[in-house]
Amino acid sequence: MKHQAVEGFSKLSKEGKIEWVVNEYLNGDEKAIDIFKQYWNDDADLQKLHDEFSENTISNFYMPFGLAPNFLINDELYTIPMAVEESSVVAAASKAAKFWLTRGGFKTTVLSTTKLGHVHFMFEGDFEQLKNAFEQKIKNQLIEDTNDITKNMRSRNGGILNLELIDKTSDLENYYQIKGSFETVDSMGANFINSCLEQFAKTLKNEIELDNNFTQEDKNSLQIVMCILSNYTPDCIVRAEVSCPVEQLANGNVSAEEFVEKFSRAVRIAEIEPYRATTHNKGIMNGIDSVVIATGNDFRAVEACAHTYATKDGSYSSLTHCEVKDGIFRFWIDLPTALGTIGGLTALHPLVKLALVILGKPSAKELMGFVAVAGLAQNFAALSSLVTTGIQKGHMKMHLMNILNQLEATEEEKQYFTTFFKDKTVTHHNVIEEFCRHRGVESVEELKK
């Protein structure tokens, strides 16, 4: 079936949008309409709030909102909210939190909080002349012309930290940047930074036009390409770490020394092998993204920044590292991340507001620490399993409930299978086979009849 383009879709009511997509893409399935509508909030005002978070909304997409307790962070006990759909993420983080609870807990240090943005522009004139004009007048004028924009931020000890003229002509002919460094305190700062950058572009153009040292040809050659913050923030970075004497790291039947040797080797492999590092870091981001989403922040920006940072030494590598020195095991992550605790969804989404209250109404710096801790905990739990029992044993037990839900198991059956697989390996095949035996049928197809 060929689909037709639609005009004025955004002007349709929510019911109209649903009717269109059901008729155009879902063969008029009435059940689809019920599914879209069953996720609407009964509270009309709350639903309206959610509708206005995005565009062309027709329903809400729910994710589990869980809690990982027992995190000792900087000698204070916390429960970390996590929004994630993947089996075992919250359980793994909780397990790591409990493990380190009696071994000194997690320590966090914010190393820096600088965020960046650029005015990208083309210029065919003399660079030295442009550089002199920038240092002698334009730079100060950029700051002066943004005073109204930066006033509130400056009152909170934020604002513009530095401005640089960057020559990028070795990479692209006639390409230059104005690089702005910013402190945005407890806001993520995207709108603030972008507003400053757009004013920088206007000021740059005006100052060049008024400067008689530039020829008309030079002035005409100036072209603003774009003004945009960077989601790569290598100078907005937090460190989270754990440490304890090696002898405290015995794991089941594995001695402490053997565990540390295997764990350290696993980290080293992720440091040198991009194929492993990608999966290694994905596991770290399971924990990080969960907290970022639960607190109403931009997980796509955090992901992009973290993965770019993982390539900073020339090849894709692990975000976490470990060492043993003087009998002390140390495991840490340096995470570049730009987060906010004011503005955006943090002030609008009811669950986000509760999540921040659970965390003690943190500052942006404190939230950076919580996010890094979640990533480190997730990675510790994953590596601990990988080098001892293997990852699938715990993961598939968590996945058991998903399989049972797909089979539409009753509550009694869920209890039975949870007990049945308590001391057995969970695989999709084994669950299906036992489920059919339990139901007295030969195959899954018979269950659907």
Do 397 and 414 contact (CB within 8 A), yes or no? no
Do 87 and 395 contact (CB within 8 A), yes or no? yes
The reply to whether 247 and 345 lie within a common domain is: yes
pLDDT of residue 31: 96
The reply to whether 134 and 200 lie within a common domain is: yes
Give the Cα separation of 215 and 433 in Å (integer). 81
pLDDT of residue 442: 75
Give the Cα separation of 153 and 364 in Å (integer). 14
The residue assigned the tokens 């793994």 is: 92
What DSSP element (H or E) covers 243?
Answer: strand 236-245
282 belongs to the catalytic site? yes
R_g of the chain computed on alpha carbons: 27
Q: Which amino acid is at 163?
A: L
* Catalytic residue of the set 282, 312, 361, 393: 282
The 8-class DSSP code of residue 245 comes to E
What DSSP element (H or E) covers 205?
Answer: helix 190-210
Give the Cα separation of 360 and 122 in Å (integer). 47
The reply to whether 274 and 414 lie within a common domain is: no
* Catalytic residue of the set 19, 86, 218, 273: 86
The reply to whether 238 and 375 lie within a common domain is: yes
Q: Which amino acid is at 136?
A: Q
Which CATH number fits the domain that encloses residue 350? 3.90.770.10
Give the Cα separation of 289 and 284 in Å (integer). 9
Task: Provide the residue range defining the domain that includes 169.
Answer: 115-229
Q: Which two tokens stand for residue 108?
A: 């966090």
Any bridge partners for residue 106, and if so which?
Answer: 73
Give the Cα separation of 232 and 244 in Å (integer). 33
Helix, strand, coil share (%) of the chain residues, nearest 5: 50, 20, 30
Do 174 and 188 contact (CB within 8 A), yes or no? no
pLDDT of residue 424: 75
Q: Which of 229, 259, 277 is the last residue of a domain?
A: 229
* Catalytic residue of the set 115, 395, 397, 399: 395
Give the Cα separation of 184 and 156 in Å (integer). 9
Q: Is the pTM of this model over 0.85?
A: yes
The reply to whether 97 and 246 lie within a common domain is: yes
Q: Which of 180, 200, 229 is the last residue of a domain?
A: 229
Do 85 and 337 contact (CB within 8 A), yes or no? no
- Beta pairing, strands 115-122 & 223-229: antiparallel
CA angle 163, 169, 170 (to 5 degrees): 120
Give the Cα separation of 311 and 146 in Å (integer). 34
The reply to whether 197 and 288 lie within a common domain is: no
The reply to whether 93 and 130 lie within a common domain is: no
Return the biggest CA–CA distance within the chain: 91
Do 240 and 101 contact (CB within 8 A), yes or no? no
User: What is the block-wise mean pLDDT of the chain (449 residues), using blocks of 10 residues?
Assistant: 90 96 95 96 94 96 96 98 94 97 98 98 96 98 98 97 98 98 96 98 98 96 98 97 97 90 98 98 98 97 98 97 98 97 91 97 98 98 89 61 82 83 77 81 72
In sequence order, which residues have a C-beta less than 8 Å from that of residue 196 and are 6 or more positions away? Answer: 117, 146, 149, 150, 160, 180, 182
Q: Which of 202, 229, 256 is the last residue of a domain?
A: 229
The reply to whether 203 and 218 lie within a common domain is: yes
Q: Which two tokens stand for residue 64?
A: 């589990």
Which CATH number fits the domain that encloses residue 204? 3.30.70.420
Do 322 and 113 contact (CB within 8 A), yes or no? no
pLDDT of residue 393: 58
Structural domain tally of the chain? 4
Is 400 buried (19+), middle (13-18) or exposed (0-12) by CB count in 10 A? buried
Tell whether the torsion through CA atoms of 289, 294, 300 and 306 is positive or negative: negative
75 belongs to the catalytic site? no
In sequence order, which residues have a C-beta less than 8 Å from that of residue 336 and are 6 or more positions away? Answer: 232, 233, 234, 235, 236, 237, 305, 306, 309
In sequence order, which residues have a C-beta less than 8 Å from that of residue 422 and are 6 or more positions away? Answer: none
User: 228: number of CA atoms within 13 Å, CB side?
Assistant: 6
The reply to whether 41 and 150 lie within a common domain is: no
Distances, alpha carbon 366 to alpha carbons 308, 362, 416, in Å: 23, 5, 43
Q: Which two tokens stand for residue 110?
A: 């914010």
Do 136 and 195 contact (CB within 8 A), yes or no? no
86 belongs to the catalytic site? yes
* Catalytic residue of the set 186, 289, 298, 303: 298
Q: Which two tokens stand for residue 268?
A: 């080293």
The reply to whether 313 and 257 lie within a common domain is: yes
Do 192 and 145 contact (CB within 8 A), yes or no? no
The reply to whether 142 and 269 lie within a common domain is: no
pLDDT of residue 398: 61
The reply to whether 71 and 122 lie within a common domain is: no
